[in-house]
Amino acid sequence: MALNLIVDESVTNAHEAFSRFGNILYLQGRMITNSIVRNADALIIRSTTNVNEELLFGSNIKFVGTATIGTDHIDKDYLNKQQITFSDAKGCNADAVAEYFLTALYYIASKNGISLKDKSIGIVGVGNIGSRVKKLAKAIGLNVVLNDPPLQKKTGLEIYRPFEEVLTCDIITIHTPLTREGEDPAYHLFNERVLNYLKEGTILINSARGEVVDNLALLEVLKQKKIFTAFDVFESEPNILTGLLSYLDIATPHIAGYSYEGKVNGTKLIYDAFCKCFSFRAIWEPEYPSVKNNIISIPDLKNEDESDRKRERIYE
């Protein structure tokens, strides 16, 4: 059975994974339109293609896969109504984003002479990424406070603390998906009131979704007090609030999870879901390059003493 596939040209290893299934048209994600997908059987994309009724109306699409963890560019309700199989790649780049968090934290601490010893960290969202961040945070000796209302309701565990408790932490890192409705919407979770509540010198890291933080409110708050910031995501990408950038300690263009490993993992997850949808045998296995020098040594914060601080000048 030969199929017609539309594939975002930025999907890593797409040719190796999908070429045996039929005809493939590779395009930039923003160039995929209704007329192009009309006779296709499957659509494999990343985050730059908005998948909704406008794109798919009148098409033969039976499968949509996004090789990303985020799904706010997908109208899943429409896909369900049309009985179109959908798959995302949640967890594919979790390690890369967790490593981005750690790198950003150490950069800010080193640059500003901040000791991380005995510091507290609030992790907002404890899913694939947040759970990895928790392990890293504990490994370097931080006092961890977890916040995840859906998980708290599901498990009833008291380890998941109220949002207000997170806001008192020395470090806050955001790993929640973007939701606009329901009991616990994440849209503008960090609004003007919340941002004003943060204490001077808080380290705030956002590598989740830009809209979780009110960017205009953040700009006004940063004009008034010092909050150390590392932001990989912004509202209205790619048309972001450029005036905010000069107030941030770290500003990156949504690349925290954009590692080779993460991209290959994403393709593999979508490939497996695609094969299941069309009853193909999944035989493709990606090859990962070997890693050399995979151990990174960092100071032992638990045993840090005054001589270490004077010698290294990393903390304080």
Task: Select from 133, 138, 108 the least CA-distant residue to 120.
Answer: 138
Count, in order, helices (H) and strands (E) of the chain. 12, 11
User: pLDDT tens digit string along 223-241?
Assistant: 999 999 999 999 999 999 9
Q: pTM score > 0.95 for this model?
A: no
What burial class does residue 181 get, using C-beta atoms within 10 Å of its C-beta: 0-12 exposed, 13-18 middle, 19+ buried? exposed
Provide mean pLDDT across the span 199-207: 98
Provide mean pLDDT across the span 212-220: 98
Respond yes or no: is residue 254 known to be catalytic: yes
Provide mean pLDDT across the span 302-311: 43
Neighbouring-strand partners of residue 120 = 143
User: Is pLDDT at 300 greater than 80 in this prediction?
Assistant: no
Task: Select from 197, 198, 167, 201 the least CA-distant residue to 316.
Answer: 201
Q: Assign 3-state DSSP to the chain and report helix, strand, coil percentages, each to 5.
A: 40, 15, 45
Residues 6+ apart with CB under 8 A from 154: none
- Annotated active-site residue in 16, 192, 220, 237: 237
Provide mean pLDDT across the span 51-65: 97
Predicted local confidence at residue 258, as pLDDT: 86
User: pLDDT tens digit string along 145-160?
Assistant: 999 999 999 999 999 9
Task: Select from 247, 237, 246 the least CA-distant residue to 212.
Answer: 237
> DSSP H helical segments within the chain, as ranges?
14-18, 34-37, 53-56, 76-81, 94-112, 128-139, 149-155, 163-166, 192-197, 215-224, 260-278, 306-312
- Annotated active-site residue in 209, 211, 235, 304: 209
Q: Which residue has the tokens 């002479």?
A: 113
Asked if omega into 253 is within 30° of 0 (cis), the reply is: no
- Annotated active-site residue in 132, 211, 254, 304: 254
pLDDT > 70 fraction of the chain, expressed in percent and rounded: 93
User: Is pLDDT at 304 greater than 70 in this prediction?
Assistant: no
